[in-house]
Structure formats: C-alpha cells, structure tokens
Structure 1
C-alpha cells in the first residue's frame, strides 16, 4: 500500500513558516531583554500548539491505501496557531467547536485528495519535469523568493531540492485531473450583477466604510470567483459519487 504525495503540504507549510518568519528582528541591547523575548516566544509557541497525542498514526485508508497523520497534524497546528494569533482562548467553547469542525473538514479533505490522486492514476495522468518546474515557479512567485533562497531554506531544514520536487508532483497531478474532468462553466451577466449587488449591500451594512470598485472594475474578479465557485460545486458532486464507489475507512 503506497503513500502518494502525503508530504507535499507538510513540506510547503514548513517552508512557508520559515518564509513568514524570515525578516530580521531588531537586536536586543540588553541580555535580559533577549532572555525575556526568548521566554515570550517559547510561551507563544507553547500556547499555539494543540495536543495531537490522540490522533492515530494512520487516520484513514482509501481502497487500502493509508493516509498517515503527518500532513493532517501540520494543517491542524496551522489552524490552531491562527486562532492563537487572533487572541482566541483555545480552552473556550468557541475554539473547541471550531477545532473539532476543522478536524472533520481536514479528514474529509485528505480523503477526497487521495481519491483524486487514485482516479488520476487510473487515467494515466502524470506530472512531467516541466509541469513540476512550472508549479515550483508559481510557488516562488507567490512567496517572492528565488530558487537559490528556497534551496537554502530547505537545506536548513534538512530537505533536498529533489525531495521538494517529488512533493510538488501530487498537486500537479491533482490540477491536471480537475482540468480534465471538471468543466469551465459559463457565468451569466445576471449572476455577475446579482453577486455584485450582494457585495455592495453587505458593505453598506458594515460598520466601517468600504470603497467598492465599480461593476466594470470588479467584473473580472467577480467572474473568476463565480467560475471557481461553480467548479468547486461540480468537483464536490463528482467526489460524492466517487466516494460511493470507494472503500473508505476512517480511524478518527
């Protein structure tokens, strides 16, 4: 039972965290201040870490293929860290409810992703070196770093460029499958106008005044949003059908 691409998002997440924390901080002029800063950083890190001891090593199987917990935990800790940064008390009922809902959504997401990869394999969909190069280039542009900087940060974490290239294979295959089996829907003028009117109405009810672009200025963004929304709905329907054909076992 092989594992396909499970390290992708975990590796990307690690790099992203490094990228986000890469800016130099002002030096502490006093040793005591440095110790206090270190203590505060450790406290924040401790507070933003969610206890995952009860999460099994294998969280699900899809047609006998195991999904381990590494990527699942990485995603979950990212969500918990986001709550902490917003000042949310992790012991509150609100946070507990959110985390439990997130855990279910993550499990469903990872099962769905594995189904897509298995379906792609059946269809003979693969990722070429050129495809992977393009995906990496998109990532580098998004986080505004060049390849040499990426290699340096990977090296600091004990990861080679070849390993990260392998991790990029899964999203390339996923996107190719979706391009092939999920249509690009048409968006009507009425749908665009209705969505724009809803945004304007929502903004007018907000306490802070928000300047909304004109319909024509916003048109392309609205169209992209509605196309993505319709594609997500179509993909959801496809996955719902495929789930009925798959043998899925979850352990959470």
Structure 2
C-alpha cells in the first residue's frame, strides 16, 4: 500500500519531469560511457562548442537504465542512441540560448527560485525532501537550477518570437469541442426510429431522385414526434432498438451522430440498405465519462489547443534557427 510520503514523492517525480523531462520524452533508455574519459568537442553551433563532458553530464541520470541492457552490444547501442538524441536536443537548446542573447532575453535568479518554489509547493514536499528527490533523479541542485533557467529562457523566447503566430478563436475551440462530442457519441448507445422508402433492385438515377423527393415531401410534413409516428405507420419503418454506432451502415450512423434527442433528420440514402431513410433519434446513452458541457471545459480545450499550436510553432521556429545556423556534429569522430 502506498504511503502519503510515497504518493508525494511520486507526485514530485512527475512535477520535476514537467520542467526537465519535456526535452527528453523520447528517451526511454539511458547512457553509459567508455572507461576512458576524453574531453573533446562533440558539436559546434555558430562557433560555440558543446563538449563531451557536457553531453555525459546530461546523460548521467540515465546510466542505471542503460546498464540494465542484457548484452554489451545492446548497452552500446543504447549509449549511442541516447547520446545522439541528447546532442540534438543540446544543439536546439544552444540555438534557443543564442536567440535569447540576440533578443536580450534574460532570466533572473529570483525567477529561477520562484519557479522551483512553485514546483516544490505543488509537490507538497518540504525543501529538504524536495532536493533529496531531485538528487534521487540523478541531478545535482546546480544542474537542476541550470536546467530550470534554460527552460524559462526557452519559454520567454518562444512567447516573444512565436506567441504572436498563434491565434485560437472561439470558433476554433467550439469546433474542437464538437469533434470531441462526436467521438463521445461514437461510444454511446442509442435508440432511433426510421421511415424507410425502398429503392428498386437496379435503381436508376431517376428512381433515386424520385425517392429522395418523396422523402423530402414526407419530412416537410413532420413537425412533432406524433407526426413522425403517423408517417412511419403510413410509409413503413420501425425502431432500431438499443444499438451502437457500429451496428448501422456508416451513412446512417453519421447522420445519427449529429442529431440531438428528439430531432428528425433530412432524408438520407443508404446504399447498403438500398433505401432512403428519415431518422428520428429517440434517446442516446453516453458512456459514464460523457463529455462535460462546453462551458465547463472550454478553457481546458483552449489550453490544450494552445499547447499544440505552440509546440508546432516551436518546431517551425527551431527549423528557422537551424537553417540560419552553422552546425557541425562531431559525435562520431
């Protein structure tokens, strides 16, 4: 059974990861080093060197996992993979830092301390416990502070250079919510009634056109559930019973997904059923985790869309920096 301290330490790990591990999400293995220690340049970014010692220091928190690989060949492959990915990330970080210098963007010591205090407060740990947890993750306090500073610089540069490119409107948020609603409805079960106008086995375009016109005339006369019931008795139809979206022909399920309870659809042709239908959604039972009302999740949806857009723009921004930069990788030398 987990204790409160265990829960708090687990929470701390997640929160520390929010600041540090976002740059390492793709790395599921860790690194080891050769027995000999040789200082050398592993990359040059616009005349600024990145040294092997810096790369090894970045890789240090992942050493234990790398050592768990069953064979020496696999361990060496893990080392190469993580060094390559880490070096790519360090190059991007250096480009961001250089952009920060160009834009005179700075991060003060107090800003770093405030950011760390916020993480510690969210973790629920006392200061001593917090730094113990940081060390347990393989980071010294100095490394942690440096990485927090770099993350804050990155955020400032991106807000200054990229934020203006992102514009999420209310219509955008509503459209995303509607997509979420459709997905939620696909997991629902529902009951519907239908009026069915069969088509001839080898229906011509004229036959189909006439059936659609007849269906439109019928639909025009339906203003209530009683009207629908009368039309169903007169022209033929029935009830689907309790079904799910996958139980119907796609063209019919797509229409039902857009209907609210009690609503009647326009005529729709189903090739699978060789008929024209008018549908009435009687009721829908959403899953237990049904989508909340729009106003309740509007800001959450907005923040999610903003994060996605900022991530896209960050990559575009980095591509611009890479194109303009002179980058030399020497890891394989």
TM-score, normalising length from structure 1?
A: 0.58
Q: Which residue of 1 aligns with 2:316?
A: 237
Secondary structure of 2:116's partner? helix
Distance in 2 between residues matched to 1:19 and 1:239, nearest whole Å? 34
Rate the CA distance shift 1:76–1:111 in 2: closer, same or farther, 3 A.
Answer: farther
Q: Of residues 1, 8, 19 in structure 1, which corresponds to 2:9?
A: 19
Q: Which has the higher strand share?
A: 2
Q: Which residue of 2 aligns with 1:116?
A: 96
Per-residue deviation, residues 180-210 of structure 1 (Å, max 9, x unmatched): 2222533222211221122233344569863
Per-residue deviation, residues 100-126 of structure 1 (Å, max 9, x unmatched): 998876554332222101211233322
Rate the CA distance shift 1:157–1:199 in 2: closer, same or farther, 3 A.
Answer: closer
Distance in 2 between residues matched to 1:196 and 1:66, nearest whole Å? 45
Q: Which residue of 2 aligns with 1:197?
A: 178
Q: Which residue of 2 aligns with 1:26?
A: none
For the aligned residue pairs, the C-alpha RMSD in angstroms reads: 4.4
Secondary structure of 2:44's partner? strand
Q: Of residues 148, 152, 155 in structure 1, which corresponds to 2:128?
A: 148
Q: Which residue of 2 aligns with 1:37?
A: none
Distance in 2 between residues matched to 1:161 and 1:104, nearest whole Å? 25
Secondary structure of 2:155's partner? helix
Moved more, 66-75 or 109-118: 66-75
Larger radius of gyration between Structure 1 and Structure 2: 2
Rate the CA distance shift 1:50–1:105 in 2: closer, same or farther, 3 A.
Answer: closer
Q: Work out whether residues 76 and 103 of structure 1, in 8 Å CA contact, stay in contact via their aligned partners in 2.
A: no
Distance in 2 between residues matched to 1:161 and 1:231, nearest whole Å? 29
Per-residue deviation, residues 16-38 of structure 1 (Å, max 9, x unmatched): xx93399xxxxxxxxxxxxxxxx
Secondary structure of 1:125's partner? coil
* Structure 1 residue 160: Cα displacement: 6.5
Distance in 2 between residues matched to 1:191 and 1:90, nearest whole Å? 49
Rate the CA distance shift 1:76–1:147 in 2: closer, same or farther, 3 A.
Answer: closer
Q: Which residue of 1 aligns with 2:56?
A: 70
Rate the CA distance shift 1:230–1:158 in 2: closer, same or farther, 3 A.
Answer: closer
Distance in 2 between residues matched to 1:168 and 1:178, nearest whole Å? 15
The answer for unaligned runs of 5 or more in structure 2 is 1-7, 13-27, 72-78, 189-286
Q: Which residue of 2 aligns with 1:30?
A: none
Secondary structure of 1:210's partner? coil
Distance in 2 between residues matched to 1:223 and 1:21, nearest whole Å? 25
Q: Which residue of 2 aligns with 1:32?
A: none
Moved more, 241-250 or 150-159: 150-159
Q: Work out whether residues 43 and 327 of structure 2, in 8 Å CA contact, stay in contact via their aligned partners in 1.
A: yes
Q: Work out whether residues 203 and 209 of structure 1, in 8 Å CA contact, stay in contact via their aligned partners in 2.
A: no
Secondary structure of 1:127's partner? coil
TM-score, normalising length from structure 2?
A: 0.46
Q: Work out whether residues 132 and 169 of structure 1, in 8 Å CA contact, stay in contact via their aligned partners in 2.
A: yes
Q: Which residue of 2 aligns with 1:39?
A: none
Distance in 1 between residues matched to 2:323 and 2:102, nearest whole Å? 17
Q: Work out whether residues 187 and 226 of structure 1, in 8 Å CA contact, stay in contact via their aligned partners in 2.
A: yes
